[in-house]
Amino acid sequence: MPGLGTSFGRGGATTAQQDLVNADAILIMGSSMAENHPVGFRWVIKARERGATIIHVDPRFSRTSAMADLWVPLRAGSDIVFLGALVNYVLTNDLAFRDYIVPFTNAATIISEDFRDTEDLDGLFSGWDAENKQYSTESWAYEGSKPKASGESAEHDRGGHAKERGGSSMEMPETPPSDPTLQHPRSVYQILTRHFARYTPAMVEDVCGVQRDTFLQVADAYCRASGPDKTGTICYALGWTQHSTGVQTIRTAAILQLLLGNIGRPGGGILALRGHASIQGSTDIPTLYDVLPGYLAMPKHGADAGSLHSYIDKHRLPRGWWAHYDRYIVSLLKAWYGDAAQPHNDFGFGWMPRITGDHSHFGYWLDMADARTVEGLFVMGQNPAVGGANAGLERRALGNLKWLVVRDMVETETATFWLDSPEVARGELPPETVGTEVFFFPAAGQAEKEGCFTNTQRLLQWHQKAVDPPGDARSEAWFVYHLGRRLKERAARDTSPRNAGLRALTWDYGTSGPHHEPDVEQVLQEINGRSLADRSQLPGFHALANDGSTACGCWIYSGVYPSPGRNRANERDPHGPYGHGWGFSWPADRRILYNRASARPDGRPWSERKKLVWWDETMREWTGLDTPDFGRTKAPDYVPPPGSTGDEGLRGDAPFIMHPDGMGWIWVPDGLKDGPLPAHYEPLESPVANAVYRQQTNPAADPKRRSDNPYADSPGDPRYPCVLTTYRLTEHHTAGGMTRTLSHLAELQPESFCEISPELATTIDVRNGDQVELTTPRGSIVTRALVTGRIRPLVVQGKTIHQVGLPWHWGYRGLTTGPVANDLVAISEEPNVKIMEAKALVCRIDRWSPRS
Amino acid sequence: MVTAFLTDTTLCIGCKACEVACKEWNQVPSDGCTFTGFSYDNTAGLGHSTWRHVKFVERMFDGASAEPAGLSRASGSEPRGYRSNAFRWDFSSDVCKHCEHAGCLEACPTGSIVRTEFGGVYIQPDVCNGCGYCVVTCPFGVVDRRPDDGRAFKCTFCYDRQKAGLQPACATACPTESIVFGEIDELRVRAYARIEELRARGIEDAVVYDPQDTSVGGTHAIFVLRGRPEEYNLPSKPEVPTVHLRDGWTGAAVGAGLILFGTLAAFIGTSLTNPGTNPGNSSRALRASRER
């Protein structure tokens, strides 16, 4: 989510699904929302019934396209060109919402004269370090910025999930120089205009395979639905993220939305559709290696981990809500280490683990594959033998472990990789040679345990237990709690210094029932935070202190449990158009983020039709239909006195209160690893050369090229002429453990298949339902061909490009089995979030006939 | 209250939640895992173990077709109402129609099939003897016998849920209100209002499917469709087989009368023209003719 985090300040969808009804246009791209979010799609249907234009841009005609006004097929991996051309269309036709962008975004801000654009460097931005394959971002800073004084080493630590807030290594001036006329040649607006000038409709035709007229139709429809009394929303999902340029794709959408004035307003925004239940929750209270709860940075050895003081110094920003970084981290340390966390020991900061390398999924998995340091692995709520990129490599790596723990509702492919995987079937992995000891723990289903989900729109919703789990099945909370309890018991006996943190860890949740289930409401209370003096629950994050008098497990969730017995995630009394009273939307139950922008700089709504939050002059406070995402009594004409910090340091017309300048960032001066602006690079495997710049692929992406993770030659490997893209179907859930094992779901999509156009089918002499073999440098699979007009060949750079669509749910267990689609996908790392490129690769397709 | 389903195909997203909710609530077994190759439809049709079925109709409008302007041929004009693409993928959730004059009910010899107080047609599984008359008399091909069991099964209109004041499982699960459940007259009004609305938006081919002017006499499953009902595998003029009964019986009676008359006439005629005929001669004459 750094794409949204750096643009707006928070790594979460800026809007709520219910708000889609207020949109005048909805652009769905990089998502098949009707298929993968059918319940949320009801709001798209409602918007359409009210007259909104629904546009679906996607390589294939899906169930979402069927419901849209416009379907635009494009080549997988060319999204930035399409979106960049929309940005260019806005700029060249002077359609930007000037009254919005001048006060609310950094469009007018002037950039350092050291900056050189991709225009000047043929696809690279200034600051590229070819040796270390990374950017140094000093030249991207606002004019007048100074390097931050820090006692730590010079090693840069940009990007990554924790930089969702767009923290800066450069200290920006208190009032960055700007030109409200947008004429200054180094103003963001002018740089943007020059940067996107080559993203023309002709370029769209040439790179995306989208006809010029069609593109213009989309541009016209979307731009026309934006302005003071109109708004448009953009919805995306993994079709944007799983690319080597995923974060910058989302950035392009953010730029478009800021230019059109569509952020913080009803029916506007960017809706990040999360892959499954509580994925938003799992970045808020992260399962990621580089983030602490609430998007605080995980300390990195040698960079910021020397002392709490230097760590805070590095991450605290002078103005905006990140000025209180010390309160958030100290309160977190107090929640974790309790009384043992004291000022004299840096509140236990030294006990916290450090990042010493690439501990991402692929980082440690490749370590496993090389049998280096990883001995054991817990797999919970995941099935990497099916869902992991280059799944064959991932399965073989499991055989190098000493032990493997799998917790799931069914015995997944990951748990039986040693028994019935394709490697075993091919004789590459004889079970008797696998030394891994596999422990399978049956897990309770969601109706068999209570707890909390945080969904796509940052909404925390509590769910009750309906029935007891059967047999030995237990909840995750039970497993983790008792594992921690036992580890602490061991640590108590072993007094070595490395166990000091474990010994200090507070682990005092109450338990109940015959199985000693931990009380998960107590966990939510700890997350909410409490005052340590009187053990009272905190009303919200504004009450946090930096002196160790408060404890809070995740500052952005503070307020979810504000008083004893009041679990706001469990409240079910919705009222008003945004459903306040049903669940709790972080932060502070704000349903539309940055909603100060729904009012003019002077505090009046932009229009009656699009009013959301406004300044009440008589009451001298912000009011409206949503909880204001702004200081409640900060007047629109407030100008901070020189030297003021925190929220007081931001003006009364600065809606993006997490950013140190209070602006929406069209330009990201720091916080991303691959550029202050998006640039189109071809996927790591592409049938064509990059027509936009000489630089073929994202220079900062890491392909993890190795003998067991090989790539096709790019561009245009004749062995792999087709584009391959993977996706999910409504009928199955991710790696299939929860659906391929249920007859009522398995029968709806009973076999693995790929979707190809009638033209491609003719070329390879395949009829509907025939078996085909799909091959990439990583492997090959045999699957059915579903021949359909829903997939169309595209003409790109004069070449006919065939695309193959491949749902990836199948594996070798369950009621329906099939080849593992992810055997075809390479392990690669997008520079900011280290995600693989599963949505655009190349393949070969042949008719398959069984060999005798 | 007399109730009905209104299934609006223009709102259906093909998620199949209705199929699954129906099977879950009614504990209907699996149909088996068979890949049909027919779009995303792998349950193929209504049957003994599929009481809600979502059809997937893929349609390409090319060349000189009079269908809405396709995107590939568009020229920067404003969108013309949804589903204006050159390619169309329509979804429609089919179900037992619960006919006013139900062929199955009329044919059932055991009294297993009854009309409920909600207007639905319900097969009592404990009475059904598996004769299969209802299968052949359903004008929509809905009723089906389960091979391992022999008895006939179909949508129960969620009689148990309706008794408890709930709406059927399919309508409850539908995320886009494509399946609406309610009082039948209200839904009829709503259906016609809906097509007026759709037509006003330029969707000229929207129609209500509610065969009231045939012998079926209307159904408790009303549909909003686009185009001809046959494209959704629905007969445009469904008829209850029993409407042919009177014709059938009349024909049989006339036939029987003619035979009787012919027979009598033969006897009467013979006795009039050849009063002294010996039956033995006649047998011999017949034998002689066979030998020739």
> pLDDT digit string (tens) for A381-414?
899 999 999 999 999 999 999 999 999 999 999 9
Listed by number, the residues of chain A in 196-235 with a beta carbon closer than 8 Å to a beta carbon of chain B are 211, 213-214, 216-217, 220-221
Q: Is the peptide bond before A715 cis (omega within 30 degrees of 0)?
A: yes
Q: Is B249 on the interface with A (CB under 8 A)?
A: no
ipTM: 0.92
With vertex at residue A349, the alpha carbon angle to CA A343 and CA A351, rounded to the nearest 5 degrees, is: 125
The CATH topology of domain A722-847 is Barwin-like endoglucanases (2.40.40)
What average pLDDT score do residues A444-448 get? 94
Q: Do B15 and A48 touch (CB under 8 A)?
A: no
Listed by number, the residues of chain A in 53-72 with a beta carbon closer than 8 Å to a beta carbon of chain B are 53-54, 61, 63, 65-72
Spell out the CATH class of B3-232. Answer: alpha beta
pTM for the predicted model, two decimal places: 0.93
Q: Per-residue DSSP letters for A265-325?
A: STT-SEEE--SSTTTTHHHHTT-STTEETTTEEPPBTTTT-S-HHHHHHHH--SBSGGGGH
Give the type of residue at A34: A
Of B24, B74, B177, the CB nearest to A744: B24
Residue A114 has pLDDT above 70, yes or no: yes
Mean pLDDT over all residues of chain A?
Answer: 94
Residue B286 has pLDDT above 70, yes or no: no
Task: Decide if A361-448 and A722-847 have a common fold.
Answer: no
Q: Which residues in chain B have Cβ-Cβ distances shorter than 8 Å to A790?
A: 58, 87, 89
Position A806 confidence tier, pLDDT thresholds 50, 70, 90: very high
What local confidence, expressed as pLDDT, does residue B88 receive? 85
Q: Which residues in chain A have Cβ-Cβ distances shorter than 8 Å to B175?
A: 38-39, 41-42
What local confidence, expressed as pLDDT, does residue A620 receive? 97
Quick one: what percent of chain A has pLDDT higher than 90? 92
Q: Do A216 and B76 touch (CB under 8 A)?
A: yes
Give the type of residue at A544: L
The radius of gyration of chain A's CA atoms, rounded to the nearest angstrom, is 26
Local structure of residue A9 (DSSP, 8 states): S
CA B84 to chain A, closest CA, distance in angstroms equals 6
Q: Is A39 on the interface with B (CB under 8 A)?
A: yes
Residue A139 has pLDDT above 90, yes or no: yes
Q: Do A730 and B14 touch (CB under 8 A)?
A: yes
Q: Do B33 and A39 touch (CB under 8 A)?
A: no
Q: Is B243 on the interface with A (CB under 8 A)?
A: no
Q: Do A45 and B90 touch (CB under 8 A)?
A: no
Local structure of residue B219 (DSSP, 8 states): B
CA B19 to chain A, closest CA, distance in angstroms equals 9
Q: Is A541 on the interface with B (CB under 8 A)?
A: no
Q: Is B193 on the interface with A (CB under 8 A)?
A: no
CA A359 to chain B, closest CA, distance in angstroms equals 38
- Distances in Å between the alpha carbon of A753 and those of A275, A818, B129? 21, 9, 41
Listed by number, the residues of chain A in 756-775 with a beta carbon closer than 8 Å to a beta carbon of chain B are 768-769
User: What are the residue ranges spanned by the domains of chain A?
Assistant: 361-448, 722-847
Instruction: Return the number of CB contacts < 8 Å for A and B.
Output: 132
CA B76 to chain A, closest CA, distance in angstroms equals 4
Of B24, B42, B71, the CB nearest to A748: B42
Is the distance from CB of A118 to CB of A197 less than 8 angstroms? no
Lowest mean pLDDT across A342-351, B14-23, B218-227, B283-292 = B283-292
Q: Which alpha helices (DSSP H) does A499-631 contain, by range?
A: 500-504, 520-528
Of B33, B77, B82, the CB nearest to A815: B33
Spatial distance between the Cα atoms of A17 and A591, rounded to a whole number of angstroms: 10
Spatial distance between the Cα atoms of A724 and A81, rounded to a whole number of angstroms: 19
Position A162 confidence tier, pLDDT thresholds 50, 70, 90: low
User: What are the residue ranges spanned by the domains of chain B?
Assistant: 3-232, 245-291
- Distances in Å between the alpha carbon of A265 and those of A8, A66, A248, A637, B153? 13, 28, 23, 20, 52
Residue A431 has pLDDT above 60, yes or no: yes
Is the distance from CB of B224 to CB of B7 less than 8 angstroms? yes
The CATH topology of domain A361-448 is Rossmann fold (3.40.50)
Q: In this predicted model, what pLDDT tens digit does every residue of B43-79 receive, in sequence order?
A: 999 999 999 999 998 887 643 333 333 333 333 333 3
CA A586 to chain B, closest CA, distance in angstroms equals 25
Q: Which one, of A800, A796, A819, lies nearest residue A809 by Cα?
A: A819
Q: Which residues in chain A have Cβ-Cβ distances shorter than 8 Å to B77?
A: 217
